[in-house]
Amino acid sequence: GRVAMESAGTSSRDQVVAVVGGGLVGALNACFFARRGFQVKVFESREDIRNAEIVRGRSINLALSHRGRQALSRVGMEEKIVSKGIPMHARMIHSLSGKQSPIPYGKKGQYILSVDRANLNKALLTEAESYPNAKINFDHKLEDWSTDTGLMTFLRPDGSKESLKADLIVGCDGAFSTLRKQFLRLSRFNYSQTYIPHGYLELTMPPLAGEFAMKPNFLHIWPRNTFMMIALPNLDKTFTCTLFMPFDVFEKITSGDQVIDFFQTYFPDAIPLIGVDALKRDYFRLPAQAMVSVKCSPYHINDKCVLMGDAAHAVVPFYGQGMNAGFEDCIVFDEIMDQYNEDFSAVLPEYTRVRVPDDHTIADLAMYNYVEMRAHVNSKWFRFRKNLDNI
């Protein structure tokens, strides 16, 4: 295959930073490094999602909170993203009888935002590309890299390979990170991975007579103890409903009629809003997706490589903080870069020291909220708790 080599430079203006993964965290991180004047090269295994008809991601929409907004504001992107988000001031709890009761997230005026994942990712890619010193290489799948030389090998769709060295490799390649595989071979690298028994499935609730079928400024929750459904609003006046259930419950439902029976028992108010035919059809469109929690430490190798976002800490989605924590990683790293004059040999260990405990805490809170959302929100005790920053 074709081999392109680049050599290390000395000043920050010709030092090469390779960001592996052009998802949410990679695209944002590219902006942070480009602002500092590095030669930024992003490598993304997928094609350019801005030209793709169907964009497959981990969820259709997600909740953007304070941490994430702060990171966006550092690169001048907050307004652009917030203007396309839908504020959610409270959870709206749907009881079995169809009664709806709001539980505010915080004080009056505080809210989280429902944002479209594909739109957010596209906007961040476009922003990264607006820096003359940043380039995004799509259809470049990292296959392997050497911790000794830092040489990375990418696989192209035509089967050819490309190799490249960078001064710093930033791993933003998600929960199943290829970069992280090399960490596993190092001495004193801690790693744990846990799949929860639940899977998730997304369903669309269409507009009703041209309007949102439910109140739009809420994160709707149907807590049913061992499982739950949630719904977040979209700009096109649809809701994306996400059903979280143990895989063995998903597997017991094998026909359209069983889907309707199941919804009749647990989510009766949602049936007319999603629609009987759509429900029967869409439930079987895609298999339920798994959810994994990954913790590891350290996040870096020497002065060469650092992991951020899901590559460093995939969390279960029940705290709504996976992306937000990944965005905050970028801020924390950026501040340490200032503190240590962009000296990677000092910045990387400091980043691990500061960030690992916080990210591990987010992972624990997310696991805790896995129970909180489907069960505790049903309890009276919960309603008296105030000022929670979770979903």
Residue whose C-alpha is closest to residue 91's, from 190, 222, 253: 222
Stretch that binds ligand FAD, among 40-48, 184-192, 296-304, 332-340 (CB under 6 A): 40-48
The torsion angles phi and psi of 50, rounded to 5 degrees, stand at -70, -20
Q: Which part of the chain contacts ligand FAD (CB under 6 A), choosing from 15-23, 91-99, 101-109, 129-137?
A: 15-23
Q: Which of 297, 320, 335, 315 is nearest to 190 (CA)?
A: 297
**How many whole angstroms separate alpha carbon 50 and alpha carbon 124?**
11
Q: What tokens appear for 135 in the block?
A: 């380039």
Residue 10 has a CB neighbour count (10 Å cut-off) of: 8
Examine residue 22 and tell whether it contacts ligand FAD (CB under 6 A): yes
**Least Å distance between CB 385 and ligand FAD?**
20
36 binds ligand FAD (CB under 6 A): no
Provide the angle, in degrees to the nearest 10, between the axes of the packed helices 344-374 and 322-339: 160
Neighbours of 60 (CB within 10 A): 17
**Is 69 among the residues that bind ligand FAD (CB under 6 A)?**
no
CA 387 – CA 126 distance, rounded (Å): 36
Shortest distance, position 322 Cβ to ligand FAD, whole Å? 3
* Pairwise CA distance, residues 40 & 18, whole Å: 6
Choose among 269, 215, 241, 287: nearest CA to 95: 269
* Part in contact with ligand FAD (CB under 6 A); list of ranges 19-27, 30-38, 268-276, 372-380: 19-27
Annotate each residue in 176-215 with x if it binds ligand FAD (CB under 6 A) or - if it does not, as one string: --x---------------------x---------------
Q: Which stretch binds ligand FAD (CB under 6 A): 18-26, 76-84, 96-104, 293-301?
A: 18-26
- 39 or 114: whose CB is closer to ligand FAD? 114
CB of 261 to ligand FAD, least distance (A): 25
Interface with ligand FAD includes 295 (CB under 6 A)? no
Interacting residues with ligand FAD between 118 and 147 (CB under 6 A): 141-142
Q: Which of 15, 23, 72, 259 binds ligand FAD (CB under 6 A)?
A: 23
Binders of ligand FAD among residues 297 to 316 (CB under 6 A) are 309-311
Quick one: 59 or 133, whose CB is closer to ligand FAD?
59
39/242 with CB nearer ligand FAD: 242
* Contact pick of 15, 45, 163, 297 for ligand FAD (by CB under 6 A): 45
CA dist list (Å): 318 to 92, 96, 207, 249: 15, 21, 26, 19
Q: Which is nearer to ligand FAD, 159 or 210 (CB)?
A: 159
- For residue 42, give the nearest of 106, 126, 159, 150 by alpha carbon: 126
The verdict on 44 binding ligand FAD (CB under 6 A) reads: yes
**Would you list the DSSP string of 343-359?**
-HHHHHHHHHHHHHHHH
CB 313, CB 321: distance < 8 Å: no
CB-wise, 43 or 370, nearer to ligand FAD? 43
Q: Does 171 bind ligand FAD (CB under 6 A)?
A: no
Q: Is 372 in the site for ligand FAD (CB under 6 A)?
A: no
Query: With contact defined as beta carbons under 8 Å apart, do 9 and 16 qualify?
Result: yes
**What distance in Å separates the CA atoms of residue 64 and residue 88, rounded to the nearest whole number?**
10
Q: Which residue is nearest to ligand FAD (CB)?
A: 23
Binding mask 321-360 for ligand FAD (x = CB under 6 A): xxxx-x----------------------------------
> Which residue in the block uniquely carries the two structure tokens 């049903």?
378
What's the first-to-final CA gap in the chain, in angstroms? 48
Nearer Cβ to ligand FAD (162/167): 162
Phi, psi of 295 (to 5 degrees): -125, 140
Residue numbers 220-249 binding ligand FAD by CB under 6 A: 242
Give the dihedral of Cα atoms 150, 169, 154, 11; nearest 10 deg.
-80
State the residues that interact with ligand FAD by CB under 6 A.
Answer: 20-26, 43-46, 58-59, 62-63, 141-142, 172-174, 178, 200, 242, 309-311, 317, 320-324, 326
